[in-house]
Structure formats: C-alpha cells, structure tokens
Amino acid sequence: MTGPAIDRRGMGGTLAPACRPLGGQRPPVAAGELGSAAPLALRPATAADLPALLELDGAFDQPWSEASWLDELDRPGHAVFVVEAQGRPGNPPGKVGRNHVPSSLAGAVSVAGLGDTADLLKVVVAPPWRRRGLGRQLVRRAIGWAESQGLDRLLLEVSAGNAPAVGLYADEGFGAIARRRDYYGPGDDAVVMERPLARGRADASGGLGVVPGADAGGDVGGVPGGALPGSRPMRRSEGRGAS
C-alpha cells in the first residue's frame, strides 16, 4: 500500500468520499436523529468542507495537512464522506455547549481504490459524537463505496493495542492477515486487516442507522482526528503512519 501518507492506525484510514463532489452540490445521503441530538446527514465531502475537516482532524494528534485533505478530495479513485451535524449532542440545533467541538462535522472517513484493492485511510469522529455508532457507520460507508467500485478487498492498518477498533473491524468482516512490528513506534505494532468485498454490488449504504455503543471513544483508528482509539490509518500522501 503505497501513496501519500495517510493515517491508518485507528479505525481505518483516511476519510473517503464515495464519489467526488459534483458541482459543489452536497445532497445528504441520509439523515436521522440520535436520541436528543441534532439531525445528522451522511454525505460525500466537497471542497467547501475543507475548513471543517481541518478543524475536526486538528483536534487530534498527527492531523493531515491542508494539502493532504485537498488531495483526498480531488484525487480520482479516492472518496471522502462526512457526517454533518446541525447542532451538538444534547443541544438544540444551532447551540454549541462548552467543551463541544464547534465544527459542523461530527465525523469523516476517507477511502481509496487502486487496482483491485481499496484502502481505508482514515476515520475520525469528534469527541462529543463518540459512542453513538458513527464510527461503524462511516466504516460501512467506505465498504459500500469500495464494493460499488468493483474492488475485491478492503485493507486497513490498526494499532494492535487498540482493542475496541480491532473488535469493531472484526465485527464488520475484517480479518488480520499480517503484523508490522513497531510500526507506530517502539512496542506499538500494526495489525493489517482485510475484508473481502462483494464485487460490483450497488452502493446502497449511506443510511445513518445508529448502533448503540459501536464507537469506543478515543481516536478513530488511533489516528489523530478522533477515530477509534488505537487505530491509526496512514496517509498515503504524507507517509506518516498514523492519522
């Protein structure tokens, strides 16, 4: 898996739009309510989301650079999806409580395809929105996109010490195929996981159904940006190893 540096340590790797934004339009893929939370919409990201993506990702360690995010948004064969929130958990739409990330994005996922393989590059969920199933829904969105592209398998790297993320991926059909010693630093190994894909399946994902307790808090994918703790996707455009 080569390419720009992308964080792939935590929940998956990078944010991934199922399709490149067209004409700046941002139609929601789905909307729903999370308890008393504000409405959420899962949709493809556009260049207009760049400031919010930088803000979301910047709340964590090793965030991607502006150039890296732009590359993900513009590069053919890459996709970035975001969960847009109109408000914050427990707050009426338009209200932002203390300790809440002001960004309008609750989460994001980046995925890329090359040959017959897709790479889950990054998954990030804002702290106020964790443990509400968003990480799982973002991973499923990436899977749906990869299958709609006719790809055969989806790969990711996650910190071996991130048990919640490893468990989430296993629940979603990923299996460990390799281990990279000290990949994220001394004593911090990476587990390479793979999921077979139903080649050519129509992308019917996008529903923002909530899976209670799906997220385990911490960084999604152990990458800076708020993915599941321990998972740290690598940014193909930066070659870092965690995001």
Written as one string, the DSSP assignment of 33-71 is --TTSPPEEEEE--GGGHHHHHHHHTTSSSPPPHHHHHH
> What residues pair up with 112 in beta bridges, in sequence order?
78, 119
What's the pLDDT score for residue 24? 33
- The ranges assigned to domains in the chain are 5-236
What is residue 36's predicted lDDT score, i.e. its pLDDT?
Answer: 35
| pLDDT at res. 204 | 52
What pLDDT is attached to residue 108?
97
Give me the amino acid identity at 181: R
Could you report the per-residue pLDDT of 128-184, keeping only the tens digit for each?
A: 898 889 999 999 999 999 999 999 999 999 999 999 999 999 999 999 999 999 998
Torsion on CA atoms 154, 83, 124, 91, rounded to nearest 10: -150
pLDDT of residue 232: 42
Question: Is residue 66 predicted with pLDDT exceeding 90?
Answer: yes
Greater pLDDT, 176 or 14: 176
Q: Who has greater pLDDT, 177 or 211?
A: 177
Q: What is the model's pLDDT at position 199?
A: 75
Find out whether 121 and 181 touch, Cβ atoms under 8 Å: no
| Alpha helix positions (H), 75-226 | 134-148, 163-171
Which of 64, 91, 52 is closest to 9 using CA atoms? 64
- Residue 62: pLDDT band with limits 50, 70, 90: confident
Cα–Cα dist 35/117, whole Å: 37
Q: How far apart are the first and last CA of the chain?
A: 16
Q: Element (H or E) spanning 202, and its range?
A: none
Reduced 3-state DSSP string for 128-158: HHCCCCHHHHHHHHHHHHHHHCCCCEEEEEE
| pLDDT attached to residue 112 | 98
**Is the pLDDT at 101 greater than 90, yes or no?**
no
* CATH class for the domain made up of 5-236: alpha beta
Higher pLDDT, 10 or 197: 197
**Composition of the chain by helix, strand, coil, percent to 5:** 20, 25, 55
Q: How confident is the model at residue 89 (pLDDT cuts 50, 70, 90)?
A: low
**Cα(191)–Cα(74) distance, rounded to whole angstroms?**
29
Mean pLDDT of the chain: 72
Interval 18-50: pLDDT, tens: 222 223 333 333 434 333 345 789 999 999 999
**In the chain, which residue ranges form alpha helices assigned H by DSSP?**
50-57, 66-74, 134-148, 163-171
Instruction: Report the pLDDT value the prediction gives residue 61, as an integer from 0 to 100.
Output: 79
Distance between CA atoms of residues 46 and 33, nearest Å: 23
46, 72 contact by CB (below 8 A): no
